[in-house]
Structure formats: structure tokens, C-alpha cells
Amino acid sequence: MKHPKPEKKGFDILLDRTLNKSLGFNKEERKNLGIRGLLPYTYSHISEQVARVMVNLRRRNENLEKYMLLSSLQETNEKLFYRTVIDHVEELMPIIYTPTVGEACKEFSNIFNYPKGFYITPDDKGQIAEILDNWPEDEVKVVVVTDGQRILGLGDLGANGMGISVGKLALYTACAGINPDHCMPVALDTGTNNEELLNDILYLGFPQKRVDGTSYFELVDEFMEAMQEKHPGVLIQFEDFLTPNAFELLKRYRNRFLCFNDDIQGTAAVILSGVYSSCRITKKSFTDLKILFLGAGSASTGIADLMVSAFMEVGLSEEEARKRLWFVDLGGLVVKSRTGLAEHNLPYAHEHPESDFISAIKTLRPDILIGATGAPGTFSQAVIEAMCEVNERPVIFALSNPTSKAECTAEQAYTWSKGSAIFASGSPFPPFEMDGKKFVPRQGNNAYIFPGLGLGLVISEAKWVPDDLFLTAAHCLANLVEEHDLEVGGLYPPINEIRSLSKDIAIEVAEKAYEMGIAQAPRPADLSKTIEAYMYDPMY
């Protein structure tokens, strides 16, 4: 049984990140709260404090140093942290999430200085419900959980993957106003097969080889059941699970719990939205598109699966839809004659002679090329030029992150295509000028989708997350792209508008949930006002 938090006084207030305002306490507050004398004389409005944070941040040369400064701020003054991120989201999103979060995860055990999140290990089996009572917040609405086995394009980082859960939830709050008290980062620390970590005396995780098979799924089952018992209706977002496990867990839970896999479904929605936007530039009909994927893991297959739903939404049969989607992996073009294909690849194995990547482009003549490989440089000059041979305006999505893993850079895509490519990426790239024309590549960041989607799910108290809601979010985001964005090659709106974008997506997702009869919350008279009233606004 949880008990109300005792009222705090004095230094205890300054040590509580949820109460601390630092120099934002005025004279009367300092007197009444027993903190007079514990702070310097000066009072600073939160806007002045944000400015001070940014000055200190910009003095740091290394992004990891900036990440650590912001992490420390989050630990000591939560409102100031979120106010700073909201006011400077375009500059700070690459610091608190991709690409810098990848570096932070690699160094997690070395830079750890304050507990964040909740860790579950094989030692906790049979007691997960009991230890969940140790979490300090009574009302959890959103959980981001990872097992750390496939962190970005960096591989198995074990418990160090907690940085992903923490970072994603920071975006839920900054981008969509989910109250941080309602957020819970979780690491299912089932061990690691990374020998470097196992041999590192500083590694903080469960120091054994990964639990797998039945024992692994039993642990995840117990976690899912315990979370639902403690926090009925909680939204659970899966992050960075190895492809086979990612698909199995999604299949296992998607019709039982309010959950989704962001790598599979969130990525799919944001890329589908970008594809919709690209049609406004190329003037091609969505129903006529042919798409080639390089990489056949969870991200690519998730995109393809949602594409099938999108094609069927506009009248194609499932068979016709799948024939628009082709894959190339390490073994070449995925075709029916190939043996040993993973189950999730079989629906996209079509009748065709075996082929290498370049030949596949020349024979299939895809309108769009999507890379999710984790292998840098795989969109070579020859690849881009081959796409230009079969398209007046080739559409290129280089999705692997962090930046060092990108299939190609924005500059390479524009240069090798002589400015004809329409480019989007998984990591941010700066604007580029060539022959007097300015290009503004936009990042196909999942943050365009999952925070707004999550907000809509929380407000409507949806039972589960069918594909229809991801299609709704993708359409909504595409409709928010302005003509001036398209003129510079941007397939997404500016990231600094993301709070507004997330609210719009939340409204449409919630509306769709009510329309489908899967919303459990009473429908408010004014959904927009209800969502706006819920959104956390960090001020003091």
C-alpha cells in the first residue's frame, strides 16, 4: 500500500528533482519552505535559467559531455530540464536521443551516477510484482522497456540499454506532454552475450550470458502480467529487442495488452508518412509505388507490413500489396527460391531470379529505396546513380543510426544524384547547398509518431494498438507537411513544431480509437481541450 509523500522542507526540497526550482524560489517561498540562506541571493525566472543552461551546454565541445550535463539537470531539477528541451528541441533532441544516446549507452556503466529506471533480472523471477512496489510513483501510464540486445546499430549492450528507455520517455514528456511522474523506464536485464562487457569489471548489469528460450519468455510474461496488475491499462512500448524476439513478443502481446514495438511499428508509421509526402514531390500515385528495402530485419519488415495495410486501405489486395515490396539482405535479393529465410521475410519472397543489390535496382526499377542495415556506406555512389537511372526524382531513406551507421549522408545523396534525390534519414544531417539550391533533409525520427500516438492512447484508454492507429498517425503527420517544406526536400515538418504535431496526432489517434470502439475512457465533449489540459507544461 502506497502512502502520501510527506511534505518536505529545507534542503530536502532542493534535493527532490520534482520540487527543486533552484534560483526560481522567490523570497517568500524561501522563507516559508525553510530554504532561506541555502541559495544565492539572486532570483531567476525559469526563462533565465534556461538561458544559463544553454550557455553552459554550448561551452561543451563533446556531445557526450552535453548529454551528461542534461542528464544531471534531469536528476536535480526536472521542470528546468524539460523546459530547456521543449524550448530548444531541435538542438537538444540529437543530444538526449539519437545519435548521442548511442554513445551514452556504450558508456553507461562508466558515466552512471544516479539511479534512473527499473531493472529486472533473472534473479527476480517469481517476485516481479512484489518488487514493482518499490517504484516511487503510484500512477504509471507509459512504460518503455528494452532488453538491450540490439541497441540502435550498436548491438548487444545489456543493461547499458537503459539509456534508450530513459531517452524515449524524455521525448514522451518533452514532445507530447506525458507527465514524467507517469513514465517508467525499464530494462529487462537478462544478461549479455557481449564478451567485452562480461569481462569489464565496471559493467553494472547481470554478469552472465543471456537467458533465452522458455526462461526468457517466462520472465517477459511475468513482467507484462505484473505491470498490468499494478497499473491497469498501462501502455508498454518495446525498444531495441533482437528481431526474432521483437516479432515474437509483438505477436504474443499485441491483442492482450496496450503495447507496441517502436522499432517495428513506430518506424513504419514515420516512414510511411515520409512516403506519402514524397508522392507530393514526385507526383507519383501511392498505389503505383514499388519499394526496395536494403536490410530485412525488424525495422524494414515492420515498415513493409504497415505498407501492406496502407496499400490495402486504398484498394489493393494483400497479394498485390506485397508484390510492391522487395527486400535485399546479405544474401542478395530475397526471392522464393532462397532457403533458410526467417518467418517474417517469407511473405516478401517473390518469384524472381537471384540478384545482387545493383542488379535488383536496375531490373525492379523501384521508386523508393529504404535502408535499415546498420551498415554504413551501403548506399554507395553506384547505388544512388542506379536509382537515378530509373527515376527522375529517386526517393532515398537512409535510416540506420547513429549517424556513423547511416547508409549514406545527405551530402552524398544530393551530390551523387546531382540534386535530384529526395532524402530522409534516421539520424540528423545539416542543410546542404549545391548549385545555388538549398536542401533541408529532415530526419525520419520516430519522435514524430510515438509521443503523439502514446498521448492519444493514454487519453482514450485504448484496449490495444491496431494497425489502423498507426495508419491514422502516418496520414496525420503527412498532412502537416507544408509546401515550403517540400520545396527544400523536407518530407517532415520542422522538429521544433513537435509539441503541436504530437497534439494533432493524439487527437486523431484518440478519435480513431473511439470510432473503432476500443477506447475505454468516456469520450470528452472537447477532445482537443482535454488533451491540452493533460499535457505537462514545465513552468514555475
Give the residue, 5 or 299, on which the prediction is more confident: 299
What is the rounded average pLDDT of the residues 345-356? 95
- Structural domain 274-446, CATH architecture: 3-Layer(aba) Sandwich (3.40)
pLDDT confidence bin for 496, thresholds 50/70/90: very high
Per-residue 3-state assignment (H helix, E strand, C coil) for 177-237: CCCHHHEEEEEECCCCCCHHHHCCCCCCCCCCCCCCHHHHHHHHHHHHHHHHHHCCCCEEE
Q: Is residue 4 pLDDT above 60, yes or no?
A: no
Residues 11-41: pLDDT tens digits? 999 999 999 999 999 999 999 999 999 999 9
C-alpha cell at 526: 472537447
- Range 480-486 average pLDDT: 98
Out of 75-84, 293-302, 494-503, least confident range: 293-302
| CATH architecture group of domain 11-89 | Up-down Bundle (1.20)
Fold match, 11-89 / 274-446: no
Per-residue pLDDT at 2 exceeds 80: no
- The secondary structure of 480-499, three-state, reads CCCHHHHHCCCCCCCHHHHH
> Going by CATH, does the domain composed of 95-257 fall within 3.10.20.340?
no
Average pLDDT, the chain: 96
Domain boundaries, the chain: 11-89, 95-257, 274-446, 448-482+493-534
Quick one: the chain helix, strand, coil %, rounded to 5?
A: 50, 10, 40
What is the rounded CA–CA span in Å between residue 186 and residue 9? 31
- Strand spans (E) along 210-324: 235-239, 259-261, 291-294
Number of alpha carbons in the 13 Å side-chain half-sphere of residue 243? 15
* Residue 176 predicted with pLDDT over 80: yes
Q: Where does the pLDDT of residue 1 fall: very low under 50, low under 70, confident under 90, or very high at 90 and above?
A: very low
- Catalytically active residues are 97, 168
Q: Under DSSP, is residue 420 helix (H, G, I), strand (E, B) or coil? A: coil
pLDDT at position 5 is 56
Cell numbers for 308? 501492406
Short-list 259, 260, 278, CA closest to 268 = 260
- Give residue 404's pLDDT band: very low, low, confident or very high (50, 70, 90): confident
**Predicted confidence (pLDDT) at residue 133 exceeds the cutoff of 50:** yes
* Grid coordinates of 9: 522542507
Burial zone of 394 (CB within 10 Å; 0-12 exposed, 13-18 middle, 19+ buried): buried
pLDDT at residue number 3: 47
Q: Is 398 exposed, middle or buried (0-12, 13-18, 19+ CB in 10 A)?
A: buried
Determine the residue type at 14. Answer: L
Strands, DSSP E only, in 429-468?
432-434, 437-439, 442-443
- Residue 125 confidence (pLDDT) above 50: yes
Section 89-105 average pLDDT:
94
Report d(CA 484, CA 315) in Å as an integer.
31
- What's the pLDDT at 98? 86
